Amino acid sequence: MIRTIIANVVSRKTVNDQAVISWDDDKYGEPTEENVLKALKDLQVDFDDVIDTDDSVEEYLDVFDIEADED
């Protein structure tokens, strides 16, 4: 028997964004991988625009509240 169920699924995703960032060399230095990552982690810069996004499920972590679909 095949039936439809509803479940809350917790997963971890990897998202790769190609982003446009306003960068101030005087404030953050040269836009090296290290400096850009540090500025993003410290919430000092943000994306002005996202050109492309690629995301995928990396890992399923948990499932809970499983119930039968009433339809």
3-state secondary structure of 52: strand
Q: According to the model, what pLDDT value does residue 71 have?
A: 67
27: alpha, beta or left? (left if phi > 0; alpha if psi -120 to 50) = alpha
Q: According to the model, what pLDDT value does residue 57 have?
A: 80
DSSP one-letter code for 42: T
CB 9 within 8 A of CB 61: no
Q: Read off the pLDDT of residues 10-68 as tens digits, 9 standing for 90 and up.
A: 999 888 889 999 999 999 999 999 999 999 999 888 889 999 988 888 898 899 898 88
Q: pTM to 2 decimals?
A: 0.61
Domain boundaries, the chain: 5-68
